[in-house]
Amino acid sequence: MNEDQQNDSHSTKPSWLEKITKSFTQSSEPESSKDLKELLRGAHDRGLCDAEALSIMEGALQVGDMHVREIMVPRSQMTCIKASLSPSDILPTIIESQHSRFPVLGESNEEVLGILLAKDFLPYLANDNLDRFNIKDILRPVNFVPESKRLNTLLREFRTDRYHMAIVVDEYGSLAGLVTIEDVLEQIVGDIEDETDIEDDESNIRPIENSDSFMVNALTEIDDFNEYFSTDFSDEEFDTIGGIVTNGFGHLPERDESITINGMTFKVLNADNRQVRLLEVMMATDDVSESE
């Protein structure tokens, strides 16, 4: 076979995307996102795409159904800087948190003046220009988004307007939390970790404001869960509370599915095709296990 024939052979070989497209045209047209997910999983089962591609496509579909409130960093866990602080007081916060962006608050904790980038602040230290430092001179504009905004819309705004962090406000305009472009992308491609990431077990369980419910990381170890809630879930078969919940369903649950186990109701807030990620936990009035 000569070189031209080889090139023709390679050019006519269909890509995995073309294979999936052909698979769709040979199947009945999907009428819902659930139908589309089933078609994608069928394509994976037939070897038209690998597990990673399937996960990314399902994640991309999932962000269209999710809202900012489901992934935001709540107000209680935000690392903020007061505009009135001196540079020597700001530096320890930057070093300890290892973040690159910080909301800057005015006189009121509800007043977000802008976003401070560590790379904008550190040159003042290196050049010994602290006598001329005014934090308001280097603040980046702040973008506010409602809790109800859908993630696909937010991701489009992140890209088109070229910003990486947004401040989340509730229906009354009060500060509710923050969200970053990384938070959204993780819903599509999975956790994005770097060498500075560490586990923070203290944030695995946190109360939801103005509610009797708790937000729980599904990877919370059963011993920690039992200690926090004074429960007695067994760790003989599973290491995490997510394992117990998934086993209770008898299948890998999707977002918004709920189940009652041992007098506690677990609602899935975030999950992909591999695992449950985030749960809302509520005390139930009965001990009957059921799913809906």
| 230, part of any domain | yes
Pick the last residue of a domain from 143, 172, 194.
194
Q: What is the pLDDT along the chain (292 residues), one digit of tens a residue?
A: 554 545 444 455 556 556 555 555 555 566 666 667 677 777 777 777 777 677 777 767 777 778 898 888 888 888 999 999 988 889 888 888 888 999 999 999 899 999 999 999 888 777 666 777 889 999 999 999 999 999 999 999 999 999 999 999 988 889 999 999 988 888 877 665 543 343 444 468 988 877 789 989 888 999 999 999 999 999 888 888 999 999 999 888 887 899 999 999 999 987 765 678 889 999 865 443 444 4
Same domain flag for 73 and 108: yes
Predicted TM-score (pTM) of this structure:
0.56
Same domain flag for 184 and 206: no
Q: What is the pLDDT of residue 286?
A: 47
Same domain flag for 188 and 230: no
Distance CA 177, CA 211 (A): 17
Pick the last residue of a domain from 170, 194, 218.
194
Number of domains in the chain: 3
Four-residue CA torsion sign, 79, 184, 72, 105:
positive
Pick the last residue of a domain from 145, 162, 194.
194
| 292, part of any domain | no
| 60, part of any domain | no
| 160, part of any domain | yes
The domain spanning residue 259 has which CATH number? 3.30.465.10
Same domain flag for 236 and 273: yes
Same domain flag for 85 and 188: yes
| 180, part of any domain | yes
Q: What is the pLDDT of residue 288?
A: 38
Same domain flag for 269 and 235: yes
Same domain flag for 82 and 188: yes
Domain holding 250, by residue range, is 201-283
| 78, part of any domain | yes
The β-bridge partners of 221 are 240
Q: Which residue has the tokens 């960093």?
A: 73
Same domain flag for 77 and 129: yes
The domain spanning residue 109 has which CATH number? 3.10.580.10
Q: What is the pLDDT of residue 292?
A: 45
Same domain flag for 40 and 72: no
The β-bridge partners of 207 are 214
Same domain flag for 238 and 180: no
Distance CA 276, CA 283 (A): 20
Same domain flag for 149 and 39: no
| 56, part of any domain | no
Same domain flag for 166 and 147: yes
| 222, part of any domain | yes
